[in-house]
Structure 1
Amino acid sequence: MKFNIKDVAKRAGVSISTVSRVINSSKPVKPKTKDRVLEAIEELGYRPNAIARSLKVKHTQSIGIMVPDIANQFYPEVVRGIEDVANMYEYTIFLCNTDLDYEKELQYFTELEEKQVDGLIFMGNLISDALAKQMADAGIPVVLIGTQHADMPSVTIDNAKAAKDAVGHLIQKGHQRIGIITGKMKDPLMGKARLEGYRQALQEAAISWRSELVVEGGYRFKSGYEGARQLLMLDEMPTAIFVASDEMAIGAMRAILEKGLRIPQDIAIMGFDNVDMAGKVYPSLTTIGQPMYEMGAIGTRLLTKYLQGEAVTASQVVLDYELIERESS
């Protein structure tokens, strides 16, 4: 059986980064801890990859990317921005799909650490305490895109304000009974921040909050479709629905049209993201346009600054967004 650095760390009762420090002699380790690691290496017969070790002394010229789901239409455009800038600075990338699963995130971070990536771009979820600690212990520069953490550089838009503007647009069109299909509520931006923007818009317009109009969705077409069907079963249906992503919004449109209702005459729809399909479906989707490519490109450039020791003037970057009015509202 072949053992890896994770097995050594488990046997010695230390972190992977500690094992790496012992192997590479990169940072001081307490003598007793070092002895435990060396003993575990001997017991397991672990042999570090000599090529990886030699690369680490210089740099591997690689960047890890942790993304919730590359099949979600939002992320490929962001990754394109990451890849273009990474190529410009001669970095290769390792792409991992986490499915917003905290255990997967820890597992993939461990694997990227084993590959000795120079830096990491993390997208789309709340940073768990366990992952934040693992990142800090590893000493690998991390930049967040589309999410935030107090101690880490990030690139985002103001999601609460954007959602408030989206719902405000529907209110300006005369709608008072507005439903919302959120992202997962554990998601700090698609879930919590966009719901908060919805709440603020209703509050400023003196429209009562109605819990039956709030449906937790997810990220994909199916959750938007099912969320809209739930809203359409209400005795008093909404006259407009704000959906926290375009892919879900397109699913919601399908549910509305199946019921024989018209968009926007019977129910207006507002999405979020401005993915490519938003302008191609019929009726075309009114949405909040995020600068997806720019988020990836700027996030990667920020990471290269940390990797190359350049001055960083702003570690929390908030980009502009736009409200794109089309046929669905």
Structure 2
Amino acid sequence: MEKQTITIYDVAREAGVSMATVSRVVNGNPNVKPATRKKVLEVIDKLDYRPNAVARGLASKKTTTVGVIIPDVTNMFFSSLARGIDDVATMYKYNIILANSDENSQKEVQVLNTLLAKQVDGLIYMGNDISDNIRQEFSRSKTPIVLAGSVDPDEQVGSVNIDYVAAVEAATTQLINAGSKQVALVTGPLNQPINGQYRLKGYKQALEKAGLAYDESFVFETETSYHAGLSLFNQLKKAGANAAVVGDDEVAVGVLDGALDAGVKVPADFQIITSNNTKLTEMARPQLTSIDQPLYDIGAVAMRLLTKMMNKEDIDEKTIRLGFDITTRKSTR
């Protein structure tokens, strides 16, 4: 038997009140007599009435829904950001639709358009690569968009992140000061601004300040996976590196295990600093030294910035940079 859809009309008829009264009760409007409210709530309970979000959206021109595009739902970096986004969304009574883009630029455009078709009031984008296609879709859309934990070098789109240049410079300098003169940079594709324009710049600045020559054979582009890090260690060794700043924690654990498999002692013979300080850094042995970016806060602040945009509030600054630290553990000397 097909489940009948219970409408606001059915609730009003059963409770002997107007539809406006039911609407007030459902929306938490205080202008309802306590006895009436109680009666309406009892009927809602009995009929198992659920307000139709689509109909409400049509009436108010708002769906109170936010789309979140996440490149890889299994990566702890993104899931930590998502926690912060979700908590603030709940606080401001927004629902979230989470969409996985698999770090694939065609799929990203597709996912973006699917979310826009669902009439979301705003979007949070977590991808590291803002392709020209995605940028085109961003500028065509009237929907407010905020980047979380990613960068827009043109600063056209609102974003919340840390100073990736300063963070990588500090990490590289720490390795050099601890006696490693052959520091490698292990990062995602350099055509992504966060890597090619920010992390690489910080790395070069640290070398320059230490009076060391930049050697591009010490820069490694890799996928963000454990296996990519594991198979990379032999190349790092072949290049003559004795330390690495790694852009992703899963990759860093792979590099660490690759070193241990090769009988290389960490940190005595090879030092590692990773970038996201997710739970993985403490699960690894030895535990990993990491740039500590406040992932939960980045997500939370991004969602708060988006609520301001959606409500057309005044915004002082569209690019928000939060502070970072370096948490020293056992993978550095």
Give the Cα–Cα distance (whole angstroms) in 1 for the partners of residues 55 and 157 of structure 2. Answer: 27
Query: Which residue in the other structure is 1:55 paired with?
Result: 57
> 1:284-303 residue pairs with structure 2 within 5 A?
284-303=287-306
Q: Secondary structure at the match of 1:74?
A: helix
**Code of the aligned partner of 2:254:** G
2:219 aligned with 1:217: no
Q: Secondary structure at the match of 1:169?
A: helix
Query: Which residue in the other structure is 1:114 paired with?
Result: 117
- Contact 1:141–1:307 (Cα < 8 Å) also in 2: yes
Query: Radius of gyration: which is bigger?
Result: 2
Give the Cα–Cα distance (whole angstroms) in 2 for the partners of residues 190 and 292 of structure 1. Answer: 18
- Contact 1:227–1:252 (Cα < 8 Å) also in 2: yes
TM-score, structure 1 as length reference: 0.81
Query: Which residue in the other structure is 1:66 paired with?
Result: 69
**Code of the aligned partner of 2:213:** S
Unaligned segments of structure 2, at least 5 residues: 1-51
TM-score, structure 2 as length reference: 0.80
- Contact 2:128–2:192 (Cα < 8 Å) also in 1: yes
**Code of the aligned partner of 1:133:** Q
- Contact 1:290–1:322 (Cα < 8 Å) also in 2: yes
Change in CA separation of 1:247 and 1:192 when aligned onto 2, cut-off 3 Å: farther
Give the Cα–Cα distance (whole angstroms) in 2 for the partners of residues 90 and 51 of structure 1. Answer: 13
Give the Cα–Cα distance (whole angstroms) in 1 for the partners of residues 166 and 157 of structure 2. Answer: 22
Give the Cα–Cα distance (whole angstroms) in 1 for the partners of residues 196 and 290 of structure 2. Answer: 17
- Contact 1:224–1:243 (Cα < 8 Å) also in 2: no
2:80 aligned with 1:80: no
Cα shift readout 1:113-172 (whole Å, capped 9, x = no counterpart): 111100000113232233222223220010111223321111011101100000000011
Give the Cα–Cα distance (whole angstroms) in 1 for the partners of residues 79 and 279 of structure 2. Answer: 11
C-alpha RMSD of the superposition? 1.7
Deviation at 1:51?
A: 7.5
Query: Which residue in the other structure is 1:316 paired with?
Result: 319
Give the Cα–Cα distance (whole angstroms) in 1 for the partners of residues 184 and 141 of structure 2. Answer: 44
Identity percentage over the alignment?
A: 35
Cα shift readout 1:41-88 (whole Å, capped 9, x = no counterpart): xxxxxxxxx974762451111000011111111011100000000011
2:108 aligned with 1:105: yes
Task: Point out the more displaced range, 250-259 or 124-133.
Answer: 124-133
Give the Cα–Cα distance (whole angstroms) in 1 for the partners of residues 131 and 59 of structure 2. Answer: 30
**Code of the aligned partner of 1:55:** G
- Contact 1:182–1:215 (Cα < 8 Å) also in 2: yes
Query: Which residue in the other structure is 2:191 paired with?
Result: 186
Deviation at 1:295?
A: 0.3
Unaligned segments of structure 1, at least 5 residues: 1-49
Query: Which residue in the other structure is 1:207 paired with?
Result: 212
1:155 to 160, 163, 167: 160
Give the Cα–Cα distance (whole angstroms) in 2 for the partners of residues 151 and 211 of structure 1. Answer: 31
Query: Which residue in the other structure is 2:250 paired with?
Result: 247
Query: Which residue in the other structure is 2:180 paired with?
Result: 175
Query: Which residue in the other structure is 2:12 paired with?
Result: none
Give the Cα–Cα distance (whole angstroms) in 2 for the partners of residues 199 and 229 of structure 1. Answer: 23
Give the Cα–Cα distance (whole angstroms) in 1 for the partners of residues 191 and 70 of structure 2. Answer: 16
**Code of the aligned partner of 2:205:** Q
- Contact 2:53–2:63 (Cα < 8 Å) also in 1: no
**Code of the aligned partner of 2:126:** M
- Contact 2:130–2:192 (Cα < 8 Å) also in 1: no
Query: Which residue in the other structure is 2:259 paired with?
Result: 256
Q: Secondary structure at the match of 2:67?
A: strand
**Code of the aligned partner of 1:70:** V
**Code of the aligned partner of 1:244:** G
- Contact 1:126–1:187 (Cα < 8 Å) also in 2: yes
**Code of the aligned partner of 2:301:** I
> 1:270-289 residue pairs with structure 2 within 5 A?
270-289=273-292
**Code of the aligned partner of 1:185:** L
1:142 to 137, 145, 163: 145
Give the Cα–Cα distance (whole angstroms) in 1 for the partners of residues 242 and 133 of structure 2. Answer: 43
